[in-house]
Amino acid sequence: MKETEKFLQPLSKLMHRRSFMSKAGMAGMTAAAATLAGSLPARANGWNDHDRDDVDNTSGDTAQEVFTAALIAEDLASTFYYNGLIGPVIMDPALAGPGGTATNVTSAGNAGNVNYLQAALSEEIAHADLLRALTGGTSASKDPVQMFYLPAGTFDTLAAFTGVLDALENAFIGAYLNATIEFAEMAADSKAGIRHQKDATGKQLHSTDLEYYAQVAAAIMGIESEHRVLGRVISNTNPANQLNYEQTDGLTSVYNGTASAVVALTPFLTPGAGKTAYSLQVALQHASSVSLPTTGGLPPAPVVKKIRW
């Protein structure tokens, strides 16, 4: 466990929760709400104010960069959950029980907890499939990252496994929360004629496309939040749903910048001492043997109505 904690220390420092609500207290909520508007970043003065310094999305991220970063994160998540389902940790009493497997939970295990992980694997793969399509990818074998590096012992004990799970899901939540606002900002920039985004083929995206991407990012973030809470259920960390609001946890962008999601996840993308390598392709090839099917599609795309003058 010491190696795991050492590995996660930089990420944990960046992802430390501020506990704003507990510090402010209910008595301070009125004041906090009153100052919220004053804390928001400055926007353009009006529709006719199109100066370059009025760009809403100042991170430098493009839509394609956001999709690429999210694809890497989802591939990491797929690899993580698969190995959790086949590693020694699966025999913990909180999962399949001594001598059990993901597909053969013993009477001493907890089938519901195992099902949480099996469903999470399917959901992460579904997210990756969507993001791969948005980046123009045709095969997972061509995804940007094929090997992921986790602390040695991550899949040996429940404490190590759920510790990494919590760190990863907090990073994913922060990334998608940033993606939601960035897509909204990109839509505002596009509508104002300041900066336009393109899809994987080079075709210009409309502001309505970017608004929809913001909604999709929020929809995925909701699932990642479920994973965070269910991980806390498995580790018997109560209350598992302790937060009033999810946070960006120190992340200020998805792709570019020193506090980006890419930087936060870099330790999992590079080899080093105390790390074990895990293959994305191995995880995807065998995922169906341990996963459970999940349901539900994308939020319905908005209907764009043409205005007749």
20-48 pLDDT per residue, tens: 333 333 334 444 344 333 444 444 444 34
The tokens describing 50, both together, are: 């199109």
Task: With a cut of 50, list the residues of the chain below it in pLDDT.
Answer: 10, 13-50, 309
Return the percent helix, strand and coil in the chain, to nearest 5: 55, 5, 40
pLDDT of 249? 80
Domain ranges of the chain: 2-9+62-289
Residue 159 exposure: Cα atoms within 13 Å on the Cβ side: 5
Q: For residue 228, give the nearest of 270, 304, 152, 177 by alpha carbon.
A: 177
- Roughly how many angstroms between the first and final C-alpha of the chain, as a whole number? 67
pLDDT of 26? 39
Taking the C-alpha atoms of residue 239 and residue 224, their distance in angstroms, rounded to an integer, is 17
φ, ψ (nearest 5 deg) of residue 278 = -135, 135
Which pTM was predicted? 0.85
pLDDT of 20? 30
Please, are residues 70 and 179 in contact by the beta-carbon 8 Å criterion? yes
pLDDT of 9? 56
Taking the C-alpha atoms of residue 172 and residue 221, their distance in angstroms, rounded to an integer, is 7
* C-alpha of 73 from chain center: 6
Taking the C-alpha atoms of residue 224 and residue 148, their distance in angstroms, rounded to an integer, is 19
Please, are residues 103 and 290 in contact by the beta-carbon 8 Å criterion? yes
- CA-to-CA separations, 137 to 78, 142, 188, 208, in angstroms, rounded: 17, 7, 27, 23
> In sequence order, what E strands does the chain have?
147-151, 275-279
Alpha helices in 139-296 (DSSP H): 158-191, 207-234, 261-265, 280-286
Taking the C-alpha atoms of residue 292 and residue 279, their distance in angstroms, rounded to an integer, is 21
Q: For residue 182, give the nearest of 69, 305, 38 by alpha carbon.
A: 69
45-69 pLDDT per residue, tens: 443 444 555 789 999 999 999 999 9
Taking the C-alpha atoms of residue 23 and residue 18, their distance in angstroms, rounded to an integer, is 9
pLDDT of 54? 73
